[in-house]
């Protein structure tokens, strides 16, 4: 009916034009004022029909042939009983598939347009999220162009003085591309600074190398060279009076790799440092008896500070396993941890638990999983534990509580100084009856902090739960004296009785 009605309408219009023309030329008498169409359809109007439209209830379906194309149009075009839902024969063409280079060019152009589009006004956060959406689609459609996109945007907005080095393929370009491709950049993942701010947006990278200055002897602005590392380790037994007894055990809170820019680092360099500089081999030879319980620092990875959660899935989930497998094997080689702990370390980003025979459990953590410089932490920010690191800690603390054991927690980047401090609820639940002490590094300074009940809403001796000890660094970076700390420990409660720096 739809098609024939249109034909009828066109016919009526044509007749109307004809009548109008006649009226203009013949100004004499008009015809009758009304016309009554015959009840039956005048089948003589067309030669052939798909049906027999003699009855008034029958919709006429004439067979129409195109005099130009010589095509006879099928009944399906106008059959009122089977009107097609879609035209599947001749849709309009789609634009050609863009090449990856064209996608890159267009993505950059779109971001620059967004940056100047007045519709955003002064809302720079929304403007930034819109640009991130562009980056996300590029990262998913043409991931190999991700680093080039990051470099171009960095250059345009003067984000860094050497954007190709920082965000190129050999820098953080592939990491940033992974993060943008997997993040919900239009949601919470694109809002790392919710209101009110939960942490500072200023990120700093230290780029000093070990460069001795023999004339002045000044090393406070550099990393520790071999001579300083050996001197510090040789001094520890002497200054602590343990030349003949050694230590019961040693805690190492990480960051044994130099503070160099990513473009000067590599996997081989990280593995070399793990074997022969500060840790493992030298500790075993110079500190005497007792195992070393080590945690990874933010510089003990490549790229530095980057560790991907297993929740990414596929090959992306295992891209840092080379490091976890290597350090776990080295710790086992030095006979510091058991096979069971090795398997934990390989499965939990080099984090593990050691159950000692004296009733103490040592739980080490990979604190990159809450470190703000780890780009992977900005994926799925609506979830407080995408890596499962806090789940691992909670499970181990629960087992220790069930067994009546005490626990030391060892990590690198301290919890409680910035960020959301999602770890607090775990400490509040298991302190002080399970957790005897916590050990951090990262600041390079001789410090301590105290966790209080109820998120420190009442700071008093009564509400104090556990002390976290933040140890000094052997490296003098920046403007520090090289240092270490020895602890005297209650052999029953495993609480710290005294500390000597």
Q: What is the pTM of this model?
A: 0.72
State residue 206's pLDDT score: 27
pLDDT band at 143 (very low <50, low <70, confident <90, very high): very high
Q: Which has the higher per-residue pLDDT, 445 or 479?
A: 445
Query: What average pLDDT does the segment 296-319 reach?
Result: 92
Q: Which CA distances in Å does 470 have to 4, 18, 201, 413, 483? A: 86, 99, 23, 10, 12
Largest CA-CA distance found in the chain, in angstroms, rounded: 135
Sign of CA dihedral 189, 190, 194, 199: positive
Average pLDDT over residues 79-87: 79
**Alpha carbons 150 and 422: distance in angstroms, whole number:** 31
The pLDDT-based confidence of 479 (bands split at 50, 70, 90) is confident
Cα atoms in the Cβ-side hemisphere of radius 13 Å centred on 363: 25
> For residue 211, is it left (φ>0), alpha (ψ between -120 and 50) or beta?
beta
pLDDT bucket at 276, cuts 50 / 70 / 90: low
d(CA 373, CA 388): 18
Q: Is the pLDDT of residue 285 over 70?
A: yes
Q: How confident is the model at residue 134 (pLDDT cuts 50, 70, 90)?
A: very high
Cα(74)–Cα(10) distance, rounded to whole angstroms?
Answer: 20
pLDDT for 92 beyond 90: no
Secondary element (H or E) of residue 216 = none
Give the highest mean pLDDT range of 206-215, 363-372, 397-406: 397-406
**Can you give the pLDDT at residue 30?**
81
What's the pLDDT score for residue 210?
37
10 or 329, greater pLDDT: 329
Do residues 437 and 465 lie in contact, with contact meaning Cβ atoms separated by under 8 Å?
A: no
- What average pLDDT score do residues 231-244 get? 89
Highest mean pLDDT of the ranges 20-34, 267-281, 407-421, 431-445: 431-445
Q: According to the model, what pLDDT value does residue 228 have?
A: 83
Q: Look at residue 263 in the predicted model and tell me its pLDDT.
A: 78
From the list 72, 46, 42, the residue with the least C-alpha distance to 54 is 42
Per-chain mean pLDDT for the chain: 84
Q: What is the pLDDT of residue 22?
A: 44
The pLDDT score that the predictor gives to residue 264 is 81
What pLDDT does 10 receive? 42
When pLDDT is averaged across residues 280-284 and rounded to a whole number, the result is: 78
State the pLDDT at residue 106. Answer: 93
Q: What is the pLDDT of residue 212?
A: 41
Which class would CATH give 226-500? alpha beta
Give the best-scoring range by mean pLDDT among 52-56, 224-228, 392-396. 392-396
Write down the pLDDT at residue 192: 63
Domain boundaries, the chain: 2-25+36-77, 100-190, 226-500
Greater confidence (27 vs 487) lies with 487
In this predicted structure, what is the pLDDT of residue 193?
59
Mean pLDDT on 142-166: 93
- Check pLDDT > 50 for residue 88: yes
pLDDT above 80: residue 221? no
Q: Is it the case that residue 294 has pLDDT exceeding 70? A: yes
Give 226-235's long-range contacts (Cβ < 8 A, gap of 24+).
Answer: 226/277, 228/474, 228/475, 228/476, 228/482, 229/277, 229/278, 229/282, 229/474, 230/282, 230/286, 232/474, 232/482, 232/484, 233/282, 233/283, 233/286, 233/287, 234/286
Compare 1 and 332 and report the one with higher pLDDT.
332
Give the model's confidence band at 43: pLDDT under 50 very low, under 70 low, under 90 confident, else very high. Answer: confident
Assess whether pLDDT exceeds 70 at residue 149: yes
Give the pLDDT band of residue 19 (cuts 50, 70, 90): very low
Model pLDDT, residue 418: 54
């Amino acid at each position: 009916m739809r098609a024939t009605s249109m034909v009828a309408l066109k016919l009526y219009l044509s007749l109307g034009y004809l009548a109008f023309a006649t009226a203009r030329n013949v100004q004499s008498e008009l015809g009758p004022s009304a016309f009554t169409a015959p009840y039956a359809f005048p089948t003589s109007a067309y030669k052939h029909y798909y049906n027999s439209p003699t009855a008034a209830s029958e919709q006429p379906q004439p067979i129409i042939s195109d005099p130009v194309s010589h095509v006879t149009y099928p009944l399906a075009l106008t059959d009122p009983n089977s009107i097609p839902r879609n035209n599947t024969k001749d849709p309009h063409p789609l634009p050609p598939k863009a090449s990856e280079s064209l996608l890159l060019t267009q993505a950059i152009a779109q971001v620059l347009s967004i940056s100047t589009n007045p519709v955003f006004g002064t809302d720079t956060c929304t403007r930034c999220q819109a640009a991130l959406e562009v980056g996300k689609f590029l990262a998913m459609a043409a991931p190999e162009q991700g680093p080039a996109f990051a470099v171009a945007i960095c250059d345009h907005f003067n984000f860094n003085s050497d954007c190709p080095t920082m965000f190129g393929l050999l820098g953080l370009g592939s990491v940033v591309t992974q993060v943008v491709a997997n993040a919900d950049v239009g949601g919470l993942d694109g809002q790392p600074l919710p209101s009110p701010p939960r942490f500072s947006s200023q990120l700093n990278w230290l780029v000093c190398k070990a460069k001795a200055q023999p004339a002045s002897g000044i090393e406070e602005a550099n990393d520790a060279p071999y001579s300083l590392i050996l001197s510090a380790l040789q001094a520890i037994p002497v200054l602590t009076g343990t030349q003949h007894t050694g230590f019961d055990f040693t805690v190492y809170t990480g960051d044994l790799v130099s503070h160099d820019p990513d473009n000067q680092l590599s996997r081989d360099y990280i593995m070399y440092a793990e074997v022969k500089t500060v840790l493992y081999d030298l500790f075993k030879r110079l500190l005497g008896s007792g195992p070393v319980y080590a945690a990874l620092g933010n510089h003990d990875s490549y790229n530095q500070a980057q560790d991907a959660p297993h929740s990414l899935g596929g090959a992306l989930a295992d891209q840092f396993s080379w490091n976890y497998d290597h350090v776990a094997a080295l710790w086992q080689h030095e006979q510091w941890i058991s096979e069971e702990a090795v398997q934990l370390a390989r499965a939990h980003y080099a984090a593990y638990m050691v159950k000692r025979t004296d009733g103490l459990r040592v739980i080490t953590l990979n604190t990159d999983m809450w470190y703000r410089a780890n780009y992977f932490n900005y994926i799925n920010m609506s979830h407080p534990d995408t890596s499962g690191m806090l789940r691992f800690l909670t499970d181990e603390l629960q087992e220790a509580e069930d067994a009546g054991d005490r626990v030391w927690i060892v990590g690198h980047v301290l919890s409680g100084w910035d960020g959301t401090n999602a770890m607090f609820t775990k400490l509040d639940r298991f302190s002080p009856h399970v957790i005897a002490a916590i050990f951090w590094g990262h600041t390079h300074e001789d410090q301590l902090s105290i966790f209080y009940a109820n998120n420190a809403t009442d700071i008093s001796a009564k509400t104090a739960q556990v002390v976290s000890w933040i140890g000094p660094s052997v490296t003098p970076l920046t403007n520090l004296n090289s240092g270490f700390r020895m602890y005297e420990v209650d052999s029953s409660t495993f609480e710290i009785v005294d500390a000597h720096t």
